[in-house]
Structure 1
Amino acid sequence: MTTAVNRAVFARVSSPYFPILTAIFVGVMLISNIAATKAVVLFDWLQFDLGPLHVNGLVTDGAFFLFPLSYVIGDVISEVYGFRAMRRTVGAGFVVILLASLCFWLSIKLPPADFYGSQSSFETVLGSVPQIVAAGLAGYVVGELLNSYVLVKMKERAGERRLWVRLITSTVVGEFFDTLVFCSIAATAIGISTWSDFINYVVIGFVWKTLVEIVVMPATYAIVAYLKRAEPSYREALEAGATGTTHVP
């Protein structure tokens, strides 16, 4: 029951950083799902055969330069705030991307004005988004949760030591399953129709995302270190853990 008071009352925000990280994560996922509708071939001069794999350039999509950032943010959230916080973030992203897909579908179905001459272009760009969204949702839920789960479980064993090991290991596991699931569903939406291009798409996506994670690891370290110092609850849990009364979440 709510008690009437004669002054303004507001709920406390437990962390000033977690909502920002969640907003950036969800934004990256939303933008990536739209940008990924474009098929991209990089280095089309790169042509060779490797068994059944026929490489004619590196096949990827329009989100290849942005999407790896979601795993960097996911690592930071998992390392500092734990698996439960990452599940909340993944849930928020799921709802927003699903809402975006529904809005795109409704926008396409709405009757266009007589003077609007871009309906077909609008449908071409956003009409494939639902399939990309389905791929993105399936891939990122599986990948991000596996990434977070592996990182947190490794941290429970090693404590604050060997952050680089759990960053790389969790990324390899998460990115592999994310890429495999996403590419399996999204391939036809961006025009991939051969096994060779599909394998190319999966391998390039997985290798690229993993390499990006390794390259930006110094930045990940810096952000994690800053948040561990800045978050009072983390410092308190760390100090309590040192005395044996609790453990870092």
Structure 2
Amino acid sequence: MTSNSPTTQPSASAYTTIAVSFVALLLISNIAATKLFGLSLGPTTLIFDGGALLFPFTYVLGDVLAEIYGFAKTRFVILLGFVASALAAVVFLLVQILPPADAYKNQQAFEAVLGFVPRIVAASLMAYLVGQLLNAYVLVKIKQRFGEKRLWVRLLGSSVVGESADTLVFCTIAFYGVLTGASFWNYVLVGFTYKIIFEIVLLPVSYSVIRLLQRRSERTDLA
């Protein structure tokens, strides 16, 4: 019996905790992504956005969800993040266009930072649906094809597919025209490479969380 079977899934509290964490990381990343920063390595400058600090964790959580709960429940969390992000974009837009009070002196600063959020969120939503759904779908299909063995293969294989689609869609919608030529492709390639390295570094964490949830489900079945 696989870990996707309803009789071997951990408690609803674990699913809720992962889902809330997933959505929270997404929302924070959407706002943080409005800032680009560069790391100088000699003659080369690597370009990142602020979302790089937390967004890769959503793929780690997405892997855990898909591995333990299957595609349908993972898709629900992804769509929940979609709705929350869209709501955030609408709220920021409404707040931006409301007339500022006389005592409020930061309207231009607000627009300069959060005024860019709708474009970032649009990019994130499109990349999100493509990347996260591909990630979950590929992981589940690999598991169905090859069984429980070689967890690392499905974790990394699904992430390569999902992250490549996510990065290209997000970078194109969010920063095409803002970044041009070599700077744009620097941003795309650095972002993709960083996310995959991040996933590899966190493989022990992903393994530990997945094994913990599987052990909890087994103890629940025996109770």
User: TM-score, length-normalised on structure 1?
Assistant: 0.82
How many Å separate the matches in 1 of 2:118 and 2:156?
31
CA pair 232-176 structure 1, distance change in 2 beyond 3 A: same
Q: Give 1:221's match in structure 2, choosing from 196, 207, 217.
A: 207
Paired residue secondary structure (1:60): strand
Q: Which has the larger radius of gyration?
A: 1
How many Å separate the matches in 1 of 2:219 and 2:123?
36
User: Which structure has the higher relative contact order (CA within 8 Å, separation 6+)?
Assistant: 2
TM-aligned CA deviation for residue 110 of structure 1: 1.1
Contact 1:36 1:62 in 2 (8 A): yes
TM-aligned CA deviation for residue 45 of structure 1: 2.9
Q: Give 1:147's match in structure 2, choosing from 89, 110, 135.
A: 135
For residue 203 of structure 1, what is the aligned residue in structure 2? 189
Q: Which runs of 4+ in 1 moved over 6 A?
A: none
Deviations 1:154-208 (A, max 9, x none): 001222111000011001000000000000001148x31x211110011000000
For residue 80 of structure 1, what is the aligned residue in structure 2? 68
Identity %: 49
How many Å separate the matches in 1 of 2:25 and 2:100?
30
Q: Give 2:83's match in structure 1, choosing from 92, 95, 104.
A: 95
For residue 60 of structure 1, what is the aligned residue in structure 2? 48
Gaps of 5+ in 1: 1-12, 48-56, 237-249
Gaps of 5+ in 2: 1-9
For residue 246 of structure 1, what is the aligned residue in structure 2? none
Contact 2:38 2:48 in 1 (8 A): yes
Contact 2:176 2:184 in 1 (8 A): no
CA pair 163-153 structure 1, distance change in 2 beyond 3 A: same
Deviations 1:91-115 (A, max 9, x none): 1000000000000001011111101
Amino acid at match of 1:136: S
Matched, 1:16 2:26: no
Paired residue secondary structure (2:40): strand
Q: Give 2:144's match in structure 1, choosing from 145, 153, 156.
A: 156
For residue 32 of structure 1, what is the aligned residue in structure 2? 29
How many Å separate the matches in 2 of 1:99 and 1:20?
21
Paired residue secondary structure (1:114): coil
Contact 1:41 1:60 in 2 (8 A): yes
